[in-house]
């Protein structure tokens, strides 16, 4: 199997288990959780760069205004996605956040076609069409405009597009993204800490440890995703992403007992039928592996 596909499967499985982790921080405001994710992710990545003697090469590779501009856009999109997702999970909307990631692959497919001129076989459009019907059905069954889902789908869809076009390798790129927003996150956390309302070091050792571990918990699947997005077509990345919302949906329904009726079950089944058809079509067509795009600063 293509290595990019394997990386994508692992990344999306880890993301699918995220609700369990963030629920352990439900008492911490979402903005503080995101601030800690950014700070500890950047510090971890910076340490990796220093210990592997890549810091000088990283600074040289990311020094141009164009590079900084591209990754500033990626950083903003990623921060929005993180914030909305953590808030949604800890506010009892895991099912709706999963709907956002059901929609996102469709967004990724269309972005790949519109901006990257990726082509799909006629037989691939069939499962995509069925998946579209399933997502539309779930949206109607949910009963209101799913703004959480729409925000997650658009922010991560465009983030994936930017990562596909970005010139740096996955490690350098994620380090730059988190580094761009690091000062803002750190200043915010210092302010709430001085005000006495910060959770870090003030809400018990377990909470503090979970906030610190948000760094590796965040960076590992993101690095896998960033690498996969550069090695396989964006359309395939989008379809693999159904793994994460499926796990999230099941976690929301069976672990946290969020509402799940017959109409939602029907929509869920439609989505899985589309996935099965896609993988059968992909297997029968004996698709030629995609040549990886060389990544700057890695190896």
The average pLDDT across 24-36 equals 96
* Neighbour count for residue 142 (Cβ, 10 Å): 17
Instruction: Determine, yes or no, domain membership for 292.
Output: no
| DSSP bridge pairs for 213 | none
The average pLDDT across 27-42 equals 96
Write the CA distances from 201 to 25, 38, 190, integer angstroms.
14, 17, 12
Instruction: Determine, yes or no, domain membership for 92.
Output: yes
Q: How confident is the model at residue 74 (pLDDT cuts 50, 70, 90)?
A: very high
CA distance 140 to 267: 10
Burial (Cβ within 10 Å: 0-12, 13-18, ≥19) of residue 167 = middle
State yes or no: pLDDT of 238 exceeds 70.
Answer: no
Instruction: Determine, yes or no, domain membership for 65.
Output: yes
State yes or no: pLDDT of 155 exceeds 50.
Answer: yes
State yes or no: pLDDT of 93 exceeds 80.
Answer: yes
Mention every residue, 6+ apart, whose C-beta is less than 8 A from residue 154. Answer: 107
Q: How confident is the model at residue 286 (pLDDT cuts 50, 70, 90)?
A: low
- Quick one: pLDDT at residue 237? 72
Average model confidence (pLDDT) for the chain?
A: 86
**Number of domains composing the chain:** 1
Backbone angles phi, psi at 296, to 5 degrees: -70, 140
- Quick one: pLDDT at residue 293? 37
Instruction: Determine, yes or no, domain membership for 84.
Output: yes
Instruction: Determine, yes or no, domain membership for 290.
Output: no
SS3 167: coil
* Neighbour count for residue 105 (Cβ, 10 Å): 30
More confident residue, 238 or 178: 178
219's torsion region: left (phi>0), alpha (psi -120 to 50) or beta?
A: alpha
Instruction: Determine, yes or no, domain membership for 296.
Output: no
Q: How confident is the model at residue 255 (pLDDT cuts 50, 70, 90)?
A: very high
Q: How confident is the model at residue 283 (pLDDT cuts 50, 70, 90)?
A: low
Full-model pTM: 0.82
CA distance 145 to 123: 31
Domain range for residue 281?
3-285
Instruction: Determine, yes or no, domain membership for 117.
Output: yes
Which segment, 90-99, 135-144, 220-229, 278-287, is predicted with the most confidence on average?
90-99
Give me the percent of the chain exceeding a pLDDT of 90: 46
- Quick one: pLDDT at residue 14? 94
Cβ atoms of 178 and 41 closer than 8 Å: yes
Instruction: Determine, yes or no, domain membership for 297.
Output: no
The average pLDDT across 141-156 equals 84
The encoded tokens of residue 165 equal: 């076009």
Cβ atoms of 101 and 152 closer than 8 Å: yes
């Amino acid at each position: 199997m293509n290595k990019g596909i394997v990386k994508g499967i692992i990344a999306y499985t880890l993301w699918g288990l995220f609700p369990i982790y963030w629920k352990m921080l439900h008492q911490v405001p979402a903005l503080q959780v995101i601030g800690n994710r950014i700070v500890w992710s950047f510090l971890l990545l910076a340490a990796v760069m220093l210990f592997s003697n890549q810091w000088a090469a990283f600074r040289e590779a990311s020094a141009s205004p164009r590079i900084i501009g591209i990754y500033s856009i990626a950083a903003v999109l990623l921060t929005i996605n993180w914030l909305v997702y953590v808030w949604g999970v800890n506010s009892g909307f895991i099912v709706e956040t999963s709907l956002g990631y059901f929609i996102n692959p469709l967004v990724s497919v269309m972005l790949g076609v519109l901006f990257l001129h990726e082509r799909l076989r006629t037989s691939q459009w069939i499962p995509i069409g069925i998946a579209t019907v399933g997502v539309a059905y779930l949206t109607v069954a949910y009963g209101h405009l799913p703004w959480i889902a729409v925000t997650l789908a658009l922010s991560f869809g465009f983030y994936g597009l930017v990562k596909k076009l970005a010139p740096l390798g996955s490690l350098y790129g994620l380090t730059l993204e988190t580094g761009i927003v690091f000062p803002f996150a750190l200043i915010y956390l210092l302010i709430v800490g001085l005000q006495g309302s910060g959770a870090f070091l003030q809400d018990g050792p377990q909470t503090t440890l979970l906030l610190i571990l948000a760094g590796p918990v965040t960076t590992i699947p993101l690095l896998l995703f960033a690498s996969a997005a550069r090695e396989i077509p964006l359309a395939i990345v989008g379809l693999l992403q159904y793994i994460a919302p499926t796990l999230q949906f099941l976690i929301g329904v069976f672990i946290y007992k969020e509402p799940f009726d017959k109409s939602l079950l029907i929509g869920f089944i439609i989505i899985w039928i589309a996935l099965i058809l896609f993988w059968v079509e992909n297997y029968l067509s004996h698709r030629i592996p995609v040549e990886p795009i060389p990544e700057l600063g890695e190896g």
